[in-house]
A and B are shown apart, each in its own frame.
Chain A
Amino acid sequence: MEEKALEVYDVIRSIRDPEKPNTLEELDVVTEKCVEVRELGEDEYLIVIKFSPTVPHCSLATLIGLCLQVKLQRCLPFKHKLEIYISEGTHSTEEDINKQINDKERVAAAMENPNLREIVEQCVIEPDD
C-alpha cells in the first residue's frame, strides 16, 4: 500500500501551483502523508488525497483540486477510484469545495472551458528533464 501511495505522490508532487512559481510539494500543499491508499478489490485501489491550499481563496482551492484530478486521471497506471479533499480546518467553505472537486461532471465541463484548461495544462505539464 505504501508503494502505491508513493506512486501517487510522485505524480502529484510536481504539479505547479496556479499562482506561484513553485510545485505543490515545495509549498507543502501536498505531502507524502496526504495520500492514503486502500484496497478496493482485485487490483483496484481507493486513493484519498487531502491537500492544504496556501491561501483561503475559494477559486484557487478548486483549481488545485482540478489539477490533481486531471493529472491523476491521466498518469496513474493502476485501476483506481479517487477522492480529493481539502484537509479539515484549512478553509471556511471546505464542504462546498470538496463537493465541486469530486463532481466528475463539473470537472469534465471545466476542462472544456478553454481558459481553465490552459491554466490546468500549464500546472500539470511534466518538467523537462
Chain B
Amino acid sequence: MKEGLALVQRLNAHPDSRCWFVSWSPTGTLLASCGGDKAIRIWGREGDSWICKSVLQDGHQRTVRKVAWSPCGNYLASASFDATTCIWKKKNDGFESLTVLEGHENEVKCVAWAPSGNLLATCSRDKSVWVWEVDEEDEYECVTVVNSHTQDVKHIVWHPTQELLASASYDNNVCIYKEEDDDWECRATLQGHTSTVWSLAFDANGQRLASCSDDRTVKIWKEFPSEGGQGDLSWKCVCTLSGYHGRTVYDVSWCRLTGALATACGDDAVRVFKEDETADPAQPVFSLSAQVKAHSQDVNCVAWNPKEAGLLAACSDDGEITIWRFQEED
C-alpha cells in the first residue's frame, strides 16, 4: 500500500463561518470543534460516518477560538474572543455550562488542561498566561498570572508527564514555565523563529517540543542538561523544517502513538512528516511523508486521534472539518 493521506469524510461543520479548532476527546471517540459562529459542536461516529451529536451555543458572545477536553473526558473548556473561558460539564448526551472564568483583559487565545486534571492554563492577547487550580467541588481559582511575553500569546500546551507549561507568542518566542514556591515562572525562552509562533506540540514523552510559525517553518526543540547547575532549563533548536510550507504554519500535532508530525498551513494543505529512525536523537531528521490540498482555504488546525493510529482531523477557514487516514507504506 502506498504511503499517503486518504480522505475519510468532509463535514460542513460551521456553515458560513470559519472553523478555528478541533480537539479529540481522550478516548478518541468524540471530536469537538469551534469557530467564528460562536458555537462548539461535538461529533461522534455512527457506523462509518461522523455526525454532529450536539451543539453548544450561547456560551460565548464572540468567536470560540479553541476547545480542550479534560483528561477524564467529562469536561470541556472553551476559549473565546469575548475574553472568557467557559467550562462545560458532560450531562446526558450533551454538555452544560458549569462556570465562566473571567479575568483576561481581551481575547482568550487558548485553554489547556494539565495531565493531572487539577490545573488549567489560559493565555490571551493581553500578553499574559494564567494558571487556574480546580478543586473537588468544581471550583476554579486563578493561582498565577505570568507576564513573560511582550505580545499576544497565541497558544499554550502542557508537558505530557511533568507539571511544565509552554507558550507561543506573536513576539516570535516560546516560553517554558515551571512552578517554584507556589508561583509559576518562565524558566526558558526559546528564540529562533522570525515571526509569530502559532502553535506547539510535545512528543510522547515530552523530551522534545515542536513549534510552528508565520515564518513558514516548524522547529523541533530539545531539552539539554542545564549548563551551570540547577534552576534554568536549557532548550535548543535541534531541527528546522523549512521550504515545505508555502504560507503561515498555523498548527502542528505530534502523534503520541506513531511519532508522526502533522501540520496545518495557510496554503490550504495538510502535511505529515516522519522521523528518520537512523538519525541521532539530538539531531533529528524529518522527511515529508504525505501532503494533500485538504481544504479550499487556510487550514487552521490539525489533530491526531489519541487512540486510533493514523486518524487525523483538520479544519479550515472554509468552515469544514476533514478526517483523514494516514496510511504507512506496507
Q: Which residues of A contact B (CB under 8 A)?
A: 40, 79, 81, 99, 103-106, 108-109, 112
Please determine whether B125 and A109 come into contact, CB atoms closer than 8 angstroms.
Answer: yes
Q: When A103-B170, A103-B196 are in contact, do A109 and B63 touch as well, CB less than 8 Å?
A: yes
- What are 12 A-B contacts with C-beta separation under 8 Å? A81-B247, A81-B266, A99-B195, A103-B170, A103-B196, A104-B298, A104-B317, A108-B36, A108-B63, A108-B81, A109-B63, A109-B107
B169 CB to nearest A CB, Å: 12
Q: How far is the CB of A129 from chain B (nearest CB, A)?
A: 28
B320 proximal to A (CB < 8 A): no
- Contact status A79-B296, CB under 8 Å: yes
User: Which chain A residue shows the least CB distance to B246?
Assistant: A40
Give which listed residue, A79, A104, A109, contacts B81 with CB less than 8 A. A109
Chain A residues with CB under 8 A of B317: 104
Q: Which residues of A contact B109 (CB under 8 A)?
A: 105
Decide: B62 and A112 in contact? CB cutoff 8 A.
yes
Chain A proximity of B155: nearest CB distance (Å): 11
Interface residues on chain B, number (Cβ under 8 Å): 23
**Hey, which chain A residues are within 8 Å of B106, CB to CB?**
109
CB contacts under 8 Å to A, within B7-63, are 18, 36, 62-63
Within 8 A of A (CB), among B227-278: 246-247, 266-267
4 more contacts with CB within 8 A, not counting A79-B296, A99-B170, A108-B63, are A40-B246, A81-B266, A106-B125, A108-B81
Say if the beta carbon of B152 comes within 8 Å of chain A.
yes
CA distance A79 to B246 in the complex (A): 16
Compute how far the CA of A81 lies from the CA of B267 in the bound complex, rounded to whole angstroms.
Answer: 8
Query: Complex formed: what's the CA distance from A106 to B317 in Å?
Result: 14
Whether, in the assembled complex, B154 has its beta carbon less than 8 Å from a beta carbon of chain A, the answer is yes
Interface of chain B residues 196 through 230 with chain A (CB within 8 A):
196, 214
A109 / chain B contacts, CB cutoff of 8 Å: 62-63, 81, 106-107, 125
- Once bound together, how far apart are the Cα atoms of A79 and B81, in whole Å? 27
Q: For the complex, what is the distance from the CA of A104 to the CA of B267, rounded to whole Å?
A: 14
Complex contacts, A104 vs chain B, CB 8 Å: 298, 317
| Chain A residues with CB under 8 A of B107 | 109
A105 to B155, CA, bound (A): 12
Chain B min CB distance to A41 (Å): 9
On chain A, the residues within 8 Å of B298 by CB distance are 104
A81 to B266, CA, bound (A): 9
CB distance from B156 to the nearest CB of A (A): 15
Min CB gap A90→B, angstroms: 21
Closest approach, in angstroms, between the C-beta of B287 and any C-beta of chain A? 23
A40 CA to B247 CA, complexed, in Å = 11
Measured between alpha carbons, how far is A108 from B170 in the docked complex, in Å?
A: 15
Nearest residue (CB) in A for B107 is A109
Give Cα distance in the complex from A105 to B106, angstroms.
13
A112 touches B266 (CB 8 A): no
- Residues of chain A within 8 A of B296, CB atoms compared: 79
Tell me the complex Cα distance, A112–B109, Å.
14
**Cα separation A103 to B62 with both chains bound (whole Å):** 18
Q: What separation, in Å, do the CA atoms of A97 and B125 have in the docked complex?
A: 16
- Alpha-carbon gap, A40 to B269, bound state (A): 14
Q: How far is the CB of B299 from chain A (nearest CB, A)?
A: 12
Residues on A with C-beta less than 8 A from B170 are 99, 103
Q: Which residue of chain A is the closest to B106 with respect to CB atoms?
A: A109
